[in-house]
Amino acid sequence: MKEYSEPRMHTAEHLLNQTMVRMFGRGRAFSSHIERKRSKCDYRFDRDLSGEEKAELERRVNEAVRADLPVREEFLSPDEARRTLDLGRLPEGAGTDKVRVIRIGDYDSCACIGPHVLSTAEIGTFRIISSSFAEGVLRIRFRLDAPGGS
pLDDT score, position 84: 76
Predicted confidence (pLDDT) at residue 1 exceeds the cutoff of 50: no
Kind of pairing between the strands at 31-33 and 39-44: antiparallel
The model's pTM: 0.89
* Residue type present at position 132: S
Spatial distance between the Cα atoms of 85 and 92, rounded to a whole number of angstroms: 16
Domain residue spans of the chain: 7-144
Nearest to 102 by CA among 77, 70, 66: 70
pLDDT at site 96: 66
Q: Which CATH number fits domain 7-144: 3.30.460.80, 3.30.980.10, 1.10.760.10, 3.40.50.300?
A: 3.30.980.10
Whether the pLDDT of residue 87 is over 90: the answer is no
Helix, coil or strand: residue 133: strand
Residue 94 has pLDDT above 90, yes or no: no
Nearest one of 137, 91, 70, 65 to 100, comparing CA atoms: 91
